[in-house]
């Protein structure tokens, strides 16, 4: 799957902000992988087939983004709100997640991918929690693409837990600033998102990376997630390149 990944450089985490951005390539891409249900519906398939096709696409896009020079890729796989879906669908997604992590981790590791889990762990089954923790542990020293898997992730929950943990750690009020918050978020050590992609045609953030997308460029694609790869990514990158990122300045 990842044979086509680009060779990993000696210390990509030190890649300075300007390097990829100057080439018009976003350093950190985050994706709201939406549209699995509609993809299945239009084909007369079951929702579980849609989620399966969605997971299959992850294999493709990790290679696609890495090959295009992206250093950080964060994928929204399951939100804190997705627990409210029918039990059979939730169980299907959880089962699929276990299978995918079990199946893909070795190859990702061999390709130098560093896996991070972003989200709560306390509501996951012991099996899924173990799989995730093992994948994170195994790949933690890798220096290739950092792959953030947002699973049982909610932006508001993340910010609330960061505040709670700061209080628990006895952080003094005058030490609480943006830098300190960054250290306590799930994404600690990762740069802000440059490009936020949503597939499936909606223009909503759905509680994803509320803090980290403060100055992200937003790109919405009509394409449903299982079909979003290759040329669709090129189109998103081309749109990103044309954006004028002012960060509040007069440029």
Distance between CA atoms of residues 68 and 197, nearest Å: 15
Out of 20, 79, 111, 131, name the contact with ligand IPE by CB under 6 A.
79
Does the footprint of ligand IPE cover residue 220 (CB under 6 A)?
A: no
Does the footprint of Mg ion cover residue 34 (CB under 5 A)?
A: yes
Compute φ and ψ for 7, nearest 5 degrees: -60, 140
48 binds, among ligand IPE, Mg ion, none (CB under 5 to 8 A by kind): none
Q: For the residues of the chain, what is the DSSP string, one character each?
A: --TTSPPPPS-GGG--HHHHHHTT--SEEEEE---HHHHHHHTT--HHHHHHHHHHHHHHHHHHHHHTT-SEEEEEEEETTGGGS-HHHHHHHHHHHHHHHHHHHHHHHHTTPEEEEES--TTS-HHHHHHHHHHHHHHTT--S-EEEEEEEE-HHHHHHHHHHHHHHTT--GGG-SHHHHHHHSTTTTSPPPSEEEE-SS----TTSSTTTTTTPEEEE-SS-GGG--THHHHHHHHHHHH----TTS--
Which of 46, 67, 82, 227 is flagged as catalytic? 82
32 binds, among ligand IPE, Mg ion, none (CB under 5 to 8 A by kind): ligand IPE
CA-atom Rg of the chain in angstroms: 18
Min dist CB 216 to ligand IPE, Å, is 16
Does the footprint of Mg ion cover residue 158 (CB under 5 A)?
A: no
Min dist CB 248 to ligand IPE, Å, is 28
Which of 34, 64, 152, 192 is flagged as catalytic? 34
Min dist CB 228 to ligand IPE, Å, is 11
34 is annotated as an active-site residue: yes
Does the footprint of ligand IPE cover residue 78 (CB under 6 A)?
A: yes
Does the footprint of Mg ion cover residue 64 (CB under 5 A)?
A: no
Binding mask 58-77 for ligand IPE (x = CB under 6 A): ------------------xx
Out of 48, 67, 82, 220, name the contact with ligand IPE by CB under 6 A.
82
194 is annotated as an active-site residue: no
Does the footprint of ligand IPE cover residue 204 (CB under 6 A)?
A: yes
Token reading at 187: 């994404």
Does the footprint of ligand IPE cover residue 206 (CB under 6 A)?
A: yes
Binding site for ligand IPE (CB under 6 A): 32-38, 54, 76-79, 82, 93, 200, 202, 204, 206
Catalytic residues: 34, 82
Binding stretches for Mg ion (CB under 5 A): 34
């Amino acid at each position: 799957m990842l044979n086509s990944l680009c060779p990993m450089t000696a210390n990509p985490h030190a890649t300075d902000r300007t390097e990829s951005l100057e080439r018009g390539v976003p350093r950190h891409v985050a994706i709201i992988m939406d549209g699995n249900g509609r993809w299945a519906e239009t084909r007369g398939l079951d929702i579980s087939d849609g989620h399966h096709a969605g997971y299959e696409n992850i294999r493709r896009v990790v290679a696609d983004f890495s090959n295009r020079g992206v250093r950080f890729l964060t994928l929204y796989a399951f939100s804190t709100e997705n627990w409210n879906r029918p039990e059979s669908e939730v169980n299907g997604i959880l089962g699929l997640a276990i299978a995918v992590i079990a199946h893909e981790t070795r190859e990702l590791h061999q390709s130098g991918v560093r896996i991070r889990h972003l989200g709560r762990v306390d509501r996951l089954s012991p099996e899924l929690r173990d799989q995730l923790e093992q994948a994170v542990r195994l790949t933690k020293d890798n220096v290739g693409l950092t792959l953030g898997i947002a699973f049982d992730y909610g932006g508001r929950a993340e910010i609330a837990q960061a505040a709670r943990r700061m209080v628990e750690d006895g952080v003094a009020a005058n030490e609480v600033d943006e830098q300190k918050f960054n250290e306590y978020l799930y994404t600690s050590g990762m740069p802000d998102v440059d490009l936020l992609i949503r597939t499936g045609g909606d223009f909503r953030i759905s509680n994803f990376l509320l803090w980290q997308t403060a100055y992200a460029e937003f790109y919405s694609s009509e394409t449903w997630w299982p079909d979003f790869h290759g040329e669709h990514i090129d189109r998103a990158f081309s749109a990103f390149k044309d954006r004028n990122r002012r960060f509040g300045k007069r440029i």
